[in-house]
Amino acid sequence: MASTFLSYFKIPVLASSSLAAVASGLLYFKQNELIYPRNIPMGSRTEEGVPKPTQFGISDYDDVRIPTTDGETLQAYFIRPSNKRLAKKATIMMFHGNAGNIGHRVPIARVLEENIGCNVLMLEYRGYGLSSGTPNEEGLNIDAQTGLDWIRQSSETKNDKIIIYGQSLGGAVAIQLVAKNHEPGDIIGLVLENTFLSIRKMIPSAFPPARYLAPLCHQLWPSEETLLQITDVPILFISGLKDEIVPPSHMKELFTLCRTKTKIWKDIPNGSHNNTVAEPHYFKYIVDFVDDLLSKKR
């Protein structure tokens, strides 16, 4: 399974490195294209370029289209647990990093549904994969709320406990979503992997030539501020200590700033930005975290 992950993630990490080399003069005028490289790898916005769950041995799923309040249409994969005896009334909502599409992350969803017995909603951001629109901070926040509302309103999942899971940019999306939606009590956990304090603070490491232009960045994603609003949702922090895009110090500072009652830190010694998910113990940390949350909610 690890080799499958790596084969799908090698292209995005190469793309991230190459973006840094040309970022300097483009950050202000073309920052959305740099921050949201939705066409990498090539073909990521075509039918053929969005892998289907059946390609990874998953048959019990729906390929759904969800309308947003501002007129976009989002693609999503709703994947059900393959082991019905293990099935629980729980749904994990996944937010991926800034390159590729939901199809590239289906192997992650498969491990989660097989080992936890939960549903997985893989929501695609606007402008990515087969979703309509153009990505930006405001739009992605609308998309996240749209996906959560879909879970809460669907007859199949409206009574489920919900776990939000975000990688890199997806971690920032997840933090914003949980901060705005923790009061109803149906969100029982948050998983964050290799995410950043804010876009402006990440620029010096991700785009070194453009470090002096960071104050001009209008895509903020101020996770270090928003995280403070979450005080009652348990959070699992997973940090790849060899992350070459987001400095591991960002994750450590987020953990230190975090005010929630239950917070757990797990580091992955050899984890780089895009292969942390393929390193030993990664899924054990998530499975143990979610199983513990669900056992307490029975």
Q: Which residues are catalytic?
A: 168, 243, 273
Element (H, E) at 12: helix 2-21
The answer to whether residues 56 and 243 touch, using CB atoms and an 8 Å cutoff, is no
Mapping DSSP to helix (H, G, I), strand (E, B) and coil, where does residue 251 land? helix
Q: Helix, strand, coil % (nearest 5) of the chain? A: 45, 15, 40
Residues pairing with 162 in the sheet: 91, 187
Output phi, psi for 42, to 5 deg: -55, 135
Strand boundaries in 217-262, DSSP class E: 235-240
Mapping DSSP to helix (H, G, I), strand (E, B) and coil, where does residue 86 land? coil
Mapping DSSP to helix (H, G, I), strand (E, B) and coil, where does residue 168 land? coil
| Interior/surface letters 219-242, b for 16+ CB within 10 angstroms, e for the rest | bebbbbebbeebeebbbbbbbbee
Phi-psi region of 250 (alpha: psi -120 to 50; beta: other; left: phi over 0): alpha
